[in-house]
Amino acid sequence: MFDQRFIRNFSIIAHIDHGKSTLADQLLLKSGAITQREFREQILDDLDVERERGITVKARAVAIHYTLDGQEYEINLIDTPGHVDFHYEVSRSLAACEGALLVVDAFQGVQAQTVANAYAAIGCDLEIIPVLNKIDLPVTRIPEVMEEIESVVGLDTSNALKVSAKAGIGIEDVFKAIVERIPAPKGKPDDPLRALVFDSKYDHYRGVVTYIRVKEGTISKGQKIYFMKAGTAHEILEIGQFRPHMLPCEELGPGQVGYIVTGIKVLGNVHVGDTVCDYLRRPAAPLPGYEIPQQMVFCGMYPIDASDFEHLREELARMSLNDASFSFAADTSEALGFGFRCGFLGMLHMEIIQQRLEKEANVDLIQTAPNVTYQILKTNGEEVFIDNPQEVPDAGSITEFREPIAKVAFILPSDKIGAVMQMCADRRGVFVTTEFLGPQRAQLVWELPLAEIVFDMYDKLKSITQGYGTMNYEIIGYRAADLVKMDILVKGERVDALSTIVHRTSAERRGRALCKRLKEEISRHQFEIPIQAALGARIIARETISAVRKDVTAKCYGGDISRKRKLLEKQKEGKKRMKQFGSVEIPQKAFLSVLDTGNDE
């Protein structure tokens, strides 16, 4: 067990692409935790999807041993994601730390997630060290960026660190600042054991591997422990730290971060935010856990092959163990059969989960168009939450249809304010404030319906601002709006997986655009296929896919015209019969075409 006076726990927080993972790589390299031969970019990003996209999705913990002035220190680093969809991962990591490095790009300066993550760290009462990264760039704005940090985040930058994680400049100063400025963890080794579960993952051979941060007491191999929330007891088979690979040890004391293996095979027995204590000597109260994350985007996931249903259920359970902000429940659709209704924090989160299921778990999926959660006040006074358009009650029993509203902060170049204002106004936004962060940059705050944000607003913002604009949002509540459920009928039959909730003013435009898209996606059959958009019983848009027509008179040359007529009549009869029995094949792309109708005129 390490003397806790010489332990430091810290997180690296920043906006996406400001160099968190690169700085973590350098800290590992300089401390000797990894050799130059083992070194590679983003060494802590071990998921395939993270390496492919160049982003961090999961928070990772690693213990570094570093010697300063003859004294050895144990520094526990928790690397966190930067994208708004993974803000929950960041909040969990901060609860396991006493300090944080706030990394800011020396050219781009303070961005939307920089502000959100800094406020989260201030809320956890952490010691925050500002770090200006990428100082070796040919163009930097160091004085302006330091001024931005002071005015926007409210941190003193007189002793901010100037580093280049890529070139390895200033890394020694970072270690020195961590040791001198971040406080040592509190807690006594002799107190009853209380350890916080901040993450977990499933290992096919050893069961659930639980990541813990010991707050008080000591935890050792062979000890019988108790999970306070789950109410289950287990014996510790292995205990260890991440250095950065799993390294077994005998015990962990207050302030130390590591993992325990207890042979748990039931996925529901481990909860993120649970408290681990000694089975015989239980503390008076558990540690304060985490707020349950609010999933805001829902979609259906159905196996292409119906026999994969159970396999998909197991893989979703493993995924939800590794990612507490993801949820799923069994669902059924007339068009797609049995599947699951899954909840996510945002669109990128949804894409990542889908990619991991297809690559890591080898499951072929059909995914329906995502939608957000709505609140409905019924005529009988009952309030219900709806995350599936099929669950919307009849219009006659609805008093008020409410949609989630988000407060969105944009940080962008000042010459792009007009274009972003127009984009927000087109999406039914309500303007709140404008604030100038300097001569070139401004912060805009708008209140917007979440449904207008999650699908394509981030991409639109990037294209309007040439990549310089960033955004961060938080849900502030529900507001009444004139919303309706739009159904899609293919050959007169309602396709439940294509139903969507839209604002009445844009229903006709969306309906026309969607019918057009489906006409392009659905291939021609040997009979005519009408595609219709409907609000209740009223058809608001229609497109028709014409039938494939075989030339049955090709072999008739010369002779009487009645012979040709007879063949054509016979074909007509056959088509009529086909129309009666023919079922239409709808491809996977068609289910996602519901998304692309945001700005179609």
Long-range contacts, stretch 552-559, CB < 8 angstroms, 24+ apart: none
Q: Radius of gyration over alpha carbons of the chain, in Å?
A: 29
Asked if residues 498 and 369 have their Cβ atoms less than 8 Å apart, the reply is yes
Distance separating alpha carbons of residues 478 and 321, to the nearest angstrom: 30
| CA dist., res. 442 & res. 516, Å (int) | 39
Q: Is 134 annotated as a binding residue?
A: yes
Alpha carbons 250 and 368: distance in angstroms, whole number? 49
Q: Which of 60, 26, 59, 63 is nearest to 41 (CA)?
A: 26
Q: Hey, what amino acid is at 315? A: E
Helix, strand or coil, per DSSP, at residue 271 = coil
CA distance 568 to 578: 15
Report the SS3 class of residue 524: coil
The answer to whether 465 is annotated as binding is: no
83 is in an annotated binding site: no
Phi, psi of 534 (to 5 degrees): -135, 140
Round to whole Å and give the CA distance between 76 and 59: 13
**What is the C-alpha separation between 345 and 580, in angstroms, rounded?**
43
Check the annotation: does 135 bind a ligand.
yes
**343 assigned binding-site residue:** no
Residue 109 main-chain phi, psi, to 5 deg: 75, -160
Cα angle 433, 434, 438 (rounded to 5 degrees) comes to 150
Is 17 marked as binding a ligand?
Answer: yes
The vertex-593 CA angle with 589 and 596, nearest 5°, equals 140
CA distance 34 to 415: 46
Determine the 3-state secondary structure of 112 from DSSP.
helix
Question: Does 21 carry a binding-site annotation?
Answer: yes
The reply, when asked if residue 599 is annotated as ligand binding, is no
Annotated binding site, which residues?
17-22, 133-136
Question: Annotated binding residues for GTP, as ranges?
Answer: 17-22, 133-136
